[in-house]
């Protein structure tokens, strides 16, 4: 502990010698450190030099600046500083004035050094108590500030801090200064949180916060708005192209796997961007900037996950349409606006029908046919995919039962898409089993198509669910294999029967030049080595079919054979012989 610093202000040279002699043991023990000044002017220089003094011992009558004047200046320098005045015996008026000006105590000359020591101890204790109280108050204020303006999980600034900073920027000149707001929402976070638990979800948010900070410049700031939403303030940008480059950098970083508790977790983000000056529009309120960035983010999410969009005023109209579409989708089941279409999957060995993929269609009463690419992402975002998925499953089983009764000599199977969210339902296996029994169907009649990303959140409960489905006789198929994720090294961990190669790989193949075939060949070879069959989606030409048969692909699906058709048209395929 450093020695207590005591500033003695007196023009008597003899007093310095007496004090050093009387307190030499405490000085040597570094309990006290005495500083000496001849008058108030010299004392102020000491105090204003930045060296903290714990108490002042001052005479009243001195040249240049007396003790009373010095007392009046102490509060400007340090409000916790205490002063003891020394006055001639009987100088009651000056003692009274000194006490009125904030003196802590007084001593009379000639000085009783035993009394002086007691007074010093008492004064230092008072100063220490006041400073400890002040420190506690500052700590409490800082804690309140952190609660009010910082996120406890990530340590990032929160929404309140972000809004205040935006408000300051709006008020600051120059008016032509350009800055940008990025509104970031993690795709699939709720699925990760629900399947792996909130503790893992919290660790993921902390990791995301760390990556976001590493993507930014010194002048930029990232805040957590709440849940899985973050906002970034780019305080100085040259143009929109610079902002878009930062958004791409962020998305590239967030697509990389997160290592959390010995698991690889994959996520990505939808980003909405707005600038403080867009064309003729200028913002007067920070909430408007954040709102428009939020609207742009939802437009990005509606176009598919892992995208970014720059705000355009027309987006507000689209956001309203998006909300209307969500409400319409909630009512679509009860209004019987949904239907199923079926696309044949053909065996490359026999050329005959192996199964149908079941695909949902929505006939909107005023907008007509709405593309699944538009309403399926909406259903996943709002979790409407759960009731929607069960409607598809039960309607598909009903159709399969009707076909089996009509075409009793044929083995008819359906591929049904099952979303990752639906696979998290606790009663999934029980409900599937109950539906099969009620329709007099066996599990062998069904193939469930699941996404590749579902496999990458590998926890025991998910593997258990897949094994329970296998016990029902249901085959499991990975849909759109090879897109956006990389589960090749872990395929052997799961009870998968079939891989479906995404149509994008098929469309990139140049048959005449023989290019872009290596990836397809690798997937087929790997799948076969693991005892899995392979389906190629998006087959549109005879040349593609011939090459896939040559590579050993087991099944094909695409417009070469048929577009998705309704049940009546699909029924005709059941009596058809070979497709090629």
pLDDT bucket at 181, cuts 50 / 70 / 90: very high
Tokens of 160: 């309140």
Name the residue with tokens 């009546």: 568
172 - beta bridge partners? Answer: none
pLDDT in tens, 286-340: 998 999 999 899 888 877 778 999 988 777 777 777 788 888 988 888 888 999 9
Q: Under a CB-based contact definition with an 8 Å cutoff, are residues 533 and 497 in contact?
A: yes
The per-residue DSSP string of 452-521 comes to HHHHHS--HHHHHHHHHHHHTT-EEEEEEETSS---GGGGGGS---EEEE-HHHHHH-BTTTTBS-HHHH
pLDDT at 423 over 60: yes
310 CB-side CA count, 13 A: 16
DSSP one-letter code for 89: T
- Confidence at residue 77, expressed as pLDDT on a 0 to 100 scale: 84
d(CA 54, CA 397): 85
Q: Under a CB-based contact definition with an 8 Å cutoff, are residues 537 and 561 in contact?
A: no
Tokens of 503: 């149509």
Task: State the pTM of this model.
Answer: 0.58
- Confidence at residue 165, expressed as pLDDT on a 0 to 100 scale: 92
- Confidence at residue 513, expressed as pLDDT on a 0 to 100 scale: 64
pLDDT at 543 over 80: yes
Closest alpha carbon to 461 in 231, 238, 249, 263: 263
Tokens of 235: 């305080």
User: For the packed helices 198-214 and 189-196, what is the interaxial angle rounded to 10 degrees?
Assistant: 140
Closest alpha carbon to 473 in 445, 432, 495: 445
pLDDT at 64 over 90: no
- Confidence at residue 486, expressed as pLDDT on a 0 to 100 scale: 47
- Confidence at residue 403, expressed as pLDDT on a 0 to 100 scale: 95
Question: What does pLDDT average to over the chain?
Answer: 87
180 - beta bridge partners? Answer: 234, 275
Distances (CA, A) of 363 to 297, 328, 342, 368, 404: 27, 11, 16, 5, 27
pLDDT mean over 82-86: 88
3-state percent helix, strand, coil for the chain, nearest multiple of 5: 50, 20, 30
pLDDT in tens, 101-136: 878 888 888 888 888 889 999 999 998 998 888 888
The answer, yes or no, to whether the previous bond of 110 is cis (omega within 30 of 0) is: yes
- Confidence at residue 457, expressed as pLDDT on a 0 to 100 scale: 56
- Computed on alpha carbons and rounded to an integer, the radius of gyration of the chain in Å comes to 39
pLDDT at 487 over 60: no
- Confidence at residue 210, expressed as pLDDT on a 0 to 100 scale: 95
Closest alpha carbon to 84 in 102, 66, 65: 102
- Confidence at residue 247, expressed as pLDDT on a 0 to 100 scale: 94
pLDDT at 488 over 70: no
d(CA 556, CA 353): 10
pLDDT at 485 over 50: no
Q: Under a CB-based contact definition with an 8 Å cutoff, are residues 87 and 58 in contact?
A: no
Highest mean pLDDT out of 190-204, 207-221, 280-294, 510-524: 207-221
Q: Which residues, in sequence order, are CB contacts of 402 under 8 Å at separation 6+? A: none
Name the residue with tokens 């969009």: 309
d(CA 142, CA 129): 20
Name the residue with tokens 């001849």: 38
pLDDT bucket at 174, cuts 50 / 70 / 90: low
pLDDT at 274 over 90: yes
Higher pLDDT residue, 484 or 446? 446
Spell out the domains of the chain, with CATH numbers in brackets: 4-147 (3.40.50.2300), 159-312 (3.30.70.270), 325-573 (3.20.20.450)
- Confidence at residue 283, expressed as pLDDT on a 0 to 100 scale: 81
For residue 566, the tally of other CB atoms under 10 A from its CB is 12
């Amino acid at each position: 502990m450093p020695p207590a610093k005591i500033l003695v202000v007196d023009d008597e040279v003899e007093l310095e010698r007496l004090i050093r002699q009387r307190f030499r043991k405490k000085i040597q023990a570094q309990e006290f450190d005495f500083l000496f000044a001849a008058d108030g002017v010299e004392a102020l220089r000491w105090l204003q030099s930045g060296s903290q003094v714990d108490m002042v011992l001052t005479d009243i009558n001195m040249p240049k600046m007396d003790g009373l004047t010095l007392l009046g200046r102490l509060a400007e320098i340090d409000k916790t500083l205490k002063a003891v005045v020394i006055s001639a015996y009987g100088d009651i008026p000056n003692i009274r004035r000194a006490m009125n000006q904030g003196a802590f105590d007084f001593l009379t000359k000639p000085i009783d050094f035993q009394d002086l020591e007691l007074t010093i101890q008492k004064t230092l204790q008072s100063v220490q108590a006041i400073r400890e109280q002040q420190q506690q108050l500052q700590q409490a204020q800082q804690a309140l500030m952190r609660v009010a303006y910082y996120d406890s999980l990530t340590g990032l600034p929160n929404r309140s801090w972000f809004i205040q900073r935006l408000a300051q920027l709006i008020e600051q000149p120059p008016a032509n200064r350009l800055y940008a707001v990025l509104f970031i929402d993690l795709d699939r976070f709720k699925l990760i949180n629900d399947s792996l638990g909130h503790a893992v979800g919290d660790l993921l948010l902390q990791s995301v916060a760390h990556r976001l900070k590493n993507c930014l410049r010194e002048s930029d700031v990232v805040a957590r708005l709440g849940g899985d939403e973050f906002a970034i303030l780019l305080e100085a940008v040259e143009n929109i192209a610079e902002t878009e480059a930062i958004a791409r950098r962020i998305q590239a970083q967030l697509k990389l796997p997160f290592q959390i508790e010995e698991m690889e977790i994959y996520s990505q983000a939808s980003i909405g961007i707005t600038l403080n000056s867009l064309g003729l529009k200028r913002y007067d309120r920070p909430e408007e900037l954040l709102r428009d960035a939020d609207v742009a983010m939802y437009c990005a999410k509606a176009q598919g996950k892992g995208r970014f969009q720059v705000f355009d005023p027309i987006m507000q109209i689209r956001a309203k349409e998006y909300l209307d579409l969500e409400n319409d989708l909630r009512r679509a089941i009860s209004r019987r606006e949904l239907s199923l279409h079926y696309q044949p999957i053909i065996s490359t060995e026999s050329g005959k029908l192996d199964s149908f993929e079941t695909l949902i269609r929505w006939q909107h009463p005023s907008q007509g046919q709405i593309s699944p690419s538009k309403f399926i992402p909406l259903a996943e975002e709002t979790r409407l995919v759960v009731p929607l998925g069960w409607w598809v499953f039960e309607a598909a089983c009903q159709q399969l039962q009707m076909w089996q009764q009509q075409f009793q000599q044929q083995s008819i199977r359906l591929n049904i898409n099952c979303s990752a969210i639906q696979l998290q339902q606790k009663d999934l296996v029980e409900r599937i089993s109950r539906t099969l029994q009620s329709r007099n169907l066996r599990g062998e009649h069904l193939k469930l198509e699941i996404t590749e990303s579902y496999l990458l959140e590998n926890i025991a409960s998910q593997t258990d669910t897949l094994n329970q489905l296998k016990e029902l006789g249901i085959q499991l198929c990975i849909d759109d294999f090879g897109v956006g994720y990389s589960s090749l090294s872990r395929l052997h961990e799961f009870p998968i029967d079939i891989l479906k190669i995404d149509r994008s790989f098929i469309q990139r193949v140049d048959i005449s030049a023989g290019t872009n075939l290596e990836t397809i060949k690798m997937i087929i070879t790997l799948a076969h080595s693991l005892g899995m069959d392979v389906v190629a989606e998006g087959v549109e030409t005879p040349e593609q079919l011939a090459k896939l048969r040559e590579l050993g692909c087991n099944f094909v699906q695409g417009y070469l054979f048929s577009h998705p058709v309704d049940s009546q048209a699909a029924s005709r395929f059941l009596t058809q012989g070979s497709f090629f």
